[in-house]
Structure 1
Amino acid sequence: ADTIKAIIAKQTRLVQGRVGLHEIDPAPQYILKVCCSQEYLFERKSALVHYTYVQNCLQRGDIPRLTPVLLKDVLECLCLPVPDSLPVEVPSTIADPSPLPLPSVIDLYGPEEKLEKGETCIDLWDLKDFFSLTVRSAQKLTQAPSADQLDASSLLAGSPSFGDLSTSSLDATIASPVGNETSINSTLSAPASTGSFSSMLPMSTTAASGMLPDAGSVSVSKYMVRVGLAHGGQLLAKYQNTLGAMTGSGSGATLQWNQSLNFRLIYSNLPLATRVCVVLLQVKRRPGRIMEFPVGWANMNLFDERGYLVTGKRTLPLWRSSFTSPETETAHQLNLTGTVAENPDPEFTLVLDFCHPGSQKSHIRFPISRFTSVVHGNALQASNSSLPPTQTASDVDLRNLQDLIHRDPFYELSEQDKALLWRTRDSCCRTLFPAESLPWLVQAVSWERLELVEEFYRLLASWPRPLPVETCLQLLGVAGLAGSVTAAEDTFGVAEGTAGTTGGSSGGYVMAGGRTTGVADPLVRDIAVQGLQAGLSNMELADYLLQLVQVVRTEAFLINPLTCFLLKRALECPTQIGIRLCWHLRSQLDNADARLRFSLILDALCRGFGPQLLLFIHEQVNALHRLTGLAISVKRLAEEEEQRTWFKSQLLRSDVRHDLGDILSPLRFSIKLGPVVEQQCTVKRSKKRPLWIVWANPDNLGIHHHKLHQLLFKHGDDLRQDMLTLQLLRVMDHIWKEEGLNLDLTIYDCLSTGEDTGLIEVVRHSQTIMSIQGQRVRSAMQIDSSQLHKWFLQKKAPPLGSDTAYEEAIRRFTNSCAGYCVATFVLGIRDRHNDNIMVDDSGRLFHIDFGHILNNKKKKFGITRERVPFVLTSDFACVIARGEEKPYRSKEFIEFTRLCEDAYRILRRHSNLLLTLLAMMLPSGLPELTCVGDLEYVRKTLAVEQTDEEDALNYFNAKFNEAYNGAWTTKIDWF
């Protein structure tokens, strides 16, 4: 704080030409600004070193560049009133929303509805009948969307968050802004599975037609419906089948069953998160076997957003089932972890009739109000169940429990493990590791038994709060995933055509659509959100935002604690959370299962941001639309030179310059982009023809620091995988630094802004290894491993540099090389070559272009190009060893090896967090991250099954030796 005050005072005296020591203190009138940025150091009471910008400068060896600016000017720029007297507390947001309370799940379910005369409300736990439903019919839809649906769709598309944020809707929003709390509650009041609302969004189908044969061929096939009751990824009871049905003789597009299915599960045993999972199957007989072909599937919540049991007829639009390899086959074909969102463009619908166990004028509700104490952390009264009292855990049980809860999150619990967890449940809560044990205990609960659920809630009410962030992420995104895979592959038997029994396995199909993640129980999820609210700073939340958006996509209802938490933080801190959340949501509006949900969240955000911030977003959207049009047009031209000439000519047009100039960067909201510098813009040579855009730096001090801002716009590549990889690298960097290990990683920004479009930050003063080698080869007329080191000598050593500069550059290269060697090995980053590995002028090495991860290797002519676990060529070893003739035997390389070991050892201690972040991305539909099995490679590289750290280190060293022993092979691949 004294440092900030002294800087402002000294600068003011210099500007005013006064050097006396007894001048009037100018500090209250000024605030420090980061040069060439829109970032300000608001908190005068904080020490200078506490600011992230200053810490990053110190870690990189840079000098912090700060300048005093008048506080009055900052307030006017933010459209905030300037008080008569200074100093003043400067708000940290532009919209300045009033603090919003974070509602609990109890609040969201609300009190019981008002009953009409003659109506009654029945407690679900008082019902002892068996659950049943009737499968009525299935129909193939052929008609186009109705006019009402299209009108409703266009109405939603006109909201300020949807589509291109049109000027008319923007003006309307600015003219009549809506209060934050009102907008959140009113906009998100619908459940995720409401039939009328989701049908507002027609989408042209991309699936192949004819999954259900036409009338001529239907007559020879039978169709049946399979229904299951699930909780998360687990079946609560055996699934049930209808009898085989054939199409009617006249219609050819309708299947009739009218068949009742009875489940051996009483209503009182149904948990709150129960979902009904259905799949329509075509059944064909072959000699000695029965084959099932899934036509479509759907899931729905058995309890609505107020906790009332669903009764009566329901029409389910089916999602199409898609083909995949036989390795992913499931026995029952039910998509237990699929989305509960309705298909906005279904080809088939299925009608179910849910039995009403009470009178027609009665409403049946889950007794959610009994568990207010669970959410708020107050001990519940002991239940009246017949469970035997828990006994003190033995020493053997405690040791086994300790071993169990330190397993990686994908360890699959055996029945013995579950029995152990339940037997020692009191010890989990009170004596041992309550935070670490909760994700495991949740999986040991038999959710189809009321007395066990009551006992679990009793324990949960007294569980220590708040939970650590890592535990909260596991509960929301991972817990139960391993068990759900096995549950999906369990076979209960084969008896085709018999009502109430199970069918046989087919093979080779996977269900499309978003997956649910984590624990299904809403009370547990609410407690996890409370932990995030208490434990996550805005900076940490920004690091995990990518995953949390995917978890929101799989929530049971549109309004839920996690969505409210993200909206609250986004409105409280729009520049750090809100803008990035907007782009994460908007980039996925092309996904049918997320479109309605994300559109409504975007609408709530835009209404809460306020007119000034909304105008900034509108300018960004316009600029990206303009770049998309330019990128598409460029690809239509055949010759590279013609593409570049046409592109530069377009940048001279006044309308193009207006759209692209003087905007805030979508990558980093604190960076202002000035007018486009068309002479330096170009079209890159890579396959998708990315656009290299250069803007002038409009900052007054830009001429003294950096005059230009450069971004790469890509159209045709899915950048979500790059975003995920860079985020994981950033998390690794934080982990290493917290453990006192600074590996000088360079992690640039990347943002997916839509389907196959996005922006990539250009790292200043950097070039590829290929470029450096090319320069050296042209001068030396030969290829050898010393060329990269000679470049360092030329740049940093005397006479152009100094011995100190040379040593510092080599140190940074060594550190960053170690960091990326370990990171690329752990994450299985492939397709590494000398054109996607770069070095900047300070000596830091870094990787770009992460199109292949999790050991998905690129092939050429059917041959795998990469044969080593990570890139460590003799070029790198020569730099690390400072040019020694035998670099791998040098003292410097041995120290480099130990540095890699330390980095690996630290990451392995945080393996659960890394695996959790990857697993939370499963709903995203990334091409190389589609199922839990895709994460097996990371489990292997982190050696999570090894209990002895030395064994894990030996495994890493073996891979390390394999990398540098194969260095020549890697170099041949490069050239």
Structure 2
Amino acid sequence: SCLIQGRQKVPFWPTEMNNNKIISSMYGFNERALAGINPDRSYPTIELEFPSYKYQIATLQPRNGLAMQAQTKNEQLLRSCAFQDDLEETGENIIQSDFYDWLRSIEFELTEQSRVELWDRRYECMRVPESLPRWLKCVKWSNRDDVLEAYKIIENWPTKNIDPLMTALELLDVDYPDPFVRFSAVRLLDTRIDDDRLLPVILQIVQAVKNEPYHDSALARFLLRRSLLNQQVGHYFYWHSRAELKNPQYKVRYGLLLEAYLRYCGEYVEDLGRQVRSVDKLIYIAEIIQNSTHDELYNQKGYLAHVLTREGYTQNLQYFRSPVDYNIELGQLVLDHCRIMSSARRPLWLRWTNGSEYAEHYFPTFDLIFKNGDDLRQDMLALQFIQMIDIIWKADGLDLSLLPYGCLATDNCSGLIEVVKNAKTIMNIQKLGGLKGQFQFDASALYRWIAKNNPGADKLKSAIDLFTRSCAGYCVITYVLGVADRHPDNIMVNERGQLFHIDFGHILGNFKMKYGIRRERTQLVLIDDFVRVIINNNSTEKNPIETREFKNFKKLCIKGYRILRRQYRQIVCLFKLMMNCDLTELNSEADMAYLRQTFAIDIGANEQEACDRFEQVLLESYRSSVKTRVDWVFHALNHIKS
């Protein structure tokens, strides 16, 4: 990096407004602490003049040796705190234990008084290794001696017993701009995290590049190195970075990264070229269809086939690797199964044959939905969050059979969605039960559909178990994540009995309103149709809540919720790294306040109190399921009208 010289024009960042009041933050008016100047020249600008020199003056990147310049006083104490075994139970140590519990607590909040205490007890903090990100917030970064002391402590901080991935992600947040801190985070990733653990969070790591003060950073070099060494990592790095090229604030940074990657990725650049040409053609086709008249769309299937078979189109839409899933090779388009969907943006449902030479041992076809005009980055975030929750639960011995299907935003207004095989929406399943099922008068349609697809006592028992676990998992997820717009077209079940949710356009408690009234009056969906399957259609019991099967379902829900609450810091970290995406429902700290509510942190509840509160929400959602059914009746009526 080079020292700025001469006259520079610096446009201001816009202020954040809420109810015509200016919202300030710890970053001033730059709410999200964006690196660099505002590229929008329409805002007020100031002109600064810096001293000019004969030569360019470059700064050196921080290295490990920089930390060793720190003062050596208290070095013995520092080392003893880093490596000392468990303390003896004395009165003083009990007080220290309270201090350590506070450092670990999810209710941790930093005040001016606690900042001073954390700095004074900085060596003791090393006995709680996972507290490093919290401790760094107490450092006075404007004081050179304190900064050097902090560097020394970071170098000696014990990292053996911490989660290196989550610690690194926290340190790559916008709250930690210091280059040496960020270098230490990247070092954790590079030395402790393999590619298998890196892939589920590659989206957040690519977004963290926005928080770097300079284009050339340790994180950028790490991403390039891993992408060039592993083609699968490179695949997702490329597409997540390419989605940011239309963002004027970051297009230069990501453009430089992509140029460096494409120059050295070898033959894979040809694969990426075919994928990009295919996506560009799909965007062009989608725009043609969106601008078509009703007369032209009278025979939608024939019209789409005509557009897809135009000269130059078919060649670019066949035999390329799926952008959504690196492991899938798409073959020929199956025109008979391609169609225009009925929603406002007229998405395209497309089917390809399996282009792999081992196709006979796998699925013969793959279906993808292409959307143009919709921002799929929020859906992608929600599905990646579900994938991470699945990893967290399985690491704790809990398998709730989640189904995070593939979704990729190719830019900020288009993308591809994987179609789950052999699955139907709840709406379509209820339609099979006739008007009674469609208008919520028959709660057994779902059970009969699952039983029909799983004949025999053993298969049906397995399907019900799968439904119970997956329903429990998505009850917890939709509650914690605040997923809204849960109508019967946004919940699906496959033939094996596995339930899953789709369409995450509204999250974090942004529930839809109609005439000032919230359309969804329960915090999660648990209707009679679901409970009928969970209790195996056992109608002999007067109250389904008292059945053994429902109690087991409730235990699964509470256990899943308890595990997630313990991982609150990790969940917040994953969301916070996405704040610079300019998503409508996630662009400031205030948008994440919903997570504090769902985990009962805002009211200071302990773990058991929070679990009891969630249990009440679960039971109340079932008791009030008639409200959900009324909403679904109106949805069915609107569907018939359209």
Structures share fold, TM-score greater than 0.5: yes
Structure possessing the higher radius of gyration over alpha carbons: 1
Q: Deviations over 1:586-636 (max 9, x none)?
A: 1111111011001110000100111x2111111111111111111111112
Distance in 2 (CA, whole Å) between partners of 1:446 and 1:918 is 27
Which of 458, 461, 464 aligns to 1:807? It is 461
Distance in 2 (CA, whole Å) between partners of 1:907 and 1:760 is 27
Q: Deviations over 1:811-866 (max 9, x none)?
A: 00000000000011000011101111000011100000000000000123443110
Distance in 2 (CA, whole Å) between partners of 1:942 and 1:856 is 17
Q: Deviations over 1:760-785 (max 9, x none)?
A: 00000000000000011259898311
Q: Deviations over 1:499-554 (max 9, x none)?
A: xxxxxxxxxxxxxxxxxx13121111111111111222212211111111111012
Distance in 1 (CA, whole Å) between partners of 2:181 and 2:211 is 15
1:413 aligns with 2:106: no
Find the counterpart in structure 2 of residue 721 from structure 1.
378
Find the counterpart in structure 2 of residue 528 from structure 1.
185
Q: Classify 1:834/1:336 alpha carbon distance in 2 versus 1 (closer, same or farther; 3 Å).
A: closer
Find the counterpart in structure 1 of residue 122 from structure 2.
425
Which of 336, 340, 364 aligns to 1:679? It is 336
Partner-residue secondary structure (3-state), 2:48: strand
Q: CA deviation at 1:942?
A: 1.9
Partner-residue secondary structure (3-state), 1:727: helix
Q: CA deviation at 1:934?
A: 0.9
Find the counterpart in structure 2 of residue 863 from structure 1.
517
Find the counterpart in structure 2 of residue 439 from structure 1.
133
Find the counterpart in structure 2 of residue 849 from structure 1.
503
1:456 aligns with 2:160: no
Find the counterpart in structure 1 of residue 84 from structure 2.
none
Q: CA deviation at 1:757?
A: 0.2
1:937 aligns with 2:594: yes
1:790 aligns with 2:448: yes
Q: CA deviation at 1:452?
A: 2.1
Q: Classify 1:551/1:804 alpha carbon distance in 2 versus 1 (closer, same or farther; 3 Å).
A: same
1:372 aligns with 2:64: yes
Deviates most, 882-891 or 618-627: 882-891
Distance in 1 (CA, whole Å) between partners of 2:22 and 2:426 is 40
1:689 aligns with 2:346: yes
Q: Is the 8 A contact 1:379 1:462 kept in 2?
A: no
Distance in 2 (CA, whole Å) between partners of 1:641 and 1:827 is 40
Q: Is the 8 A contact 2:370 2:416 kept in 1?
A: yes
Task: Determine what percentage of the aligned residue pairs are the same residue.
Answer: 35
Find the counterpart in structure 1 of residue 628 from structure 2.
970
1:949 aligns with 2:607: yes
Q: Is the 8 A contact 1:374 1:460 kept in 2?
A: no
Partner-residue secondary structure (3-state), 2:432: helix
The letter of the residue matching 1:841 is E
The letter of the residue matching 1:966 is S
Instruction: Within 5 Å, give how 1:438-837 maps onto structure 2.
Output: 438-465=132-159, 468-477=164-173, 517-574=174-231, 576-610=232-266, 612-639=267-294, 641-703=298-360, 705-777=362-434, 783-796=441-454, 801-837=455-491
Partner-residue secondary structure (3-state), 2:415: strand
Q: Deviations over 1:252-276 (max 9, x none)?
A: xxxxxxxxxxxxxxxxxxxxxxxxx
1:315 aligns with 2:12: no
Find the counterpart in structure 2 of residue 512 from structure 1.
none
Q: CA deviation at 1:426?
A: 1.1
Distance in 1 (CA, whole Å) between partners of 2:65 and 2:100 is 28
Find the counterpart in structure 1 of residue 560 from structure 2.
903
The letter of the residue matching 1:469 is L
Distance in 1 (CA, whole Å) between partners of 2:340 and 2:608 is 50
Distance in 2 (CA, whole Å) between partners of 1:769 and 1:735 is 28
Partner-residue secondary structure (3-state), 2:250: helix
List runs of 5+ in structure 2 lacking aligned partners: 82-86, 634-642
The letter of the residue matching 1:620 is Q
Find the counterpart in structure 2 of residue 268 from structure 1.
none
Q: Which has the higher contact order (CA 8 A, sep 6+)?
A: 1
Find the counterpart in structure 2 of residue 399 from structure 1.
97
Distance in 1 (CA, whole Å) between partners of 2:400 and 2:181 is 38
Distance in 1 (CA, whole Å) between partners of 2:271 and 2:123 is 53
Distance in 1 (CA, whole Å) between partners of 2:57 and 2:323 is 48
Distance in 1 (CA, whole Å) between partners of 2:336 and 2:491 is 27
Distance in 1 (CA, whole Å) between partners of 2:314 and 2:618 is 51
Partner-residue secondary structure (3-state), 2:72: coil
Alignment coverage as a number of residue pairs: 612
Q: Classify 1:450/1:767 alpha carbon distance in 2 versus 1 (closer, same or farther; 3 Å).
A: same
Q: CA deviation at 1:699?
A: 3.6
1:341 aligns with 2:341: no
Q: CA deviation at 1:333?
A: 5.5
Q: Deviations over 1:875-924 (max 9, x none)?
A: 10011011122422221111101111111111112111111101111111
Q: Classify 1:966/1:675 alpha carbon distance in 2 versus 1 (closer, same or farther; 3 Å).
A: same
Q: Which is strand-richer, 1 or 2? A: 1
Deviates most, 410-419 or 339-348: 339-348
The letter of the residue matching 1:341 is G
Partner-residue secondary structure (3-state), 1:341: coil
Q: Classify 1:616/1:961 alpha carbon distance in 2 versus 1 (closer, same or farther; 3 Å).
A: same
Distance in 2 (CA, whole Å) between partners of 1:541 and 1:835 is 33
Q: Is the 8 A contact 1:425 1:441 kept in 2?
A: yes
Deviates most, 679-688 or 879-888: 879-888
Q: Classify 1:697/1:362 alpha carbon distance in 2 versus 1 (closer, same or farther; 3 Å).
A: closer
Q: Classify 1:638/1:458 alpha carbon distance in 2 versus 1 (closer, same or farther; 3 Å).
A: same
Instruction: Within 5 Å, give how 1:871-910 maps onto structure 2.
Output: 871-885=525-539, 886-910=543-567
Distance in 1 (CA, whole Å) between partners of 2:147 and 2:116 is 15
Partner-residue secondary structure (3-state), 1:593: coil
Cα RMSD for the two superposed structures: 2.8
Distance in 2 (CA, whole Å) between partners of 1:657 and 1:778 is 42
Q: Is the 8 A contact 2:285 2:308 kept in 1?
A: no
Q: CA deviation at 1:560?
A: 0.3
Deviates most, 459-468 or 414-423: 459-468
Q: Is the 8 A contact 1:374 1:462 kept in 2?
A: no
Distance in 1 (CA, whole Å) between partners of 2:96 and 2:410 is 50
Partner-residue secondary structure (3-state), 1:926: coil
Q: Classify 1:590/1:845 alpha carbon distance in 2 versus 1 (closer, same or farther; 3 Å).
A: same
Deviates most, 754-763 or 784-793: 784-793
Partner-residue secondary structure (3-state), 1:685: coil
List runs of 5+ in structure 1 lacking aligned partners: 1-304, 478-516
Distance in 2 (CA, whole Å) between partners of 1:326 and 1:895 is 49
Q: Classify 1:584/1:871 alpha carbon distance in 2 versus 1 (closer, same or farther; 3 Å).
A: same
Q: Is the 8 A contact 1:829 1:853 kept in 2?
A: yes
Q: Which is helix-richer, 1 or 2? A: 2
The letter of the residue matching 1:607 is R
Partner-residue secondary structure (3-state), 1:641: coil
Find the counterpart in structure 2 of residue 496 from structure 1.
none
Deviates most, 811-820 or 466-475: 466-475
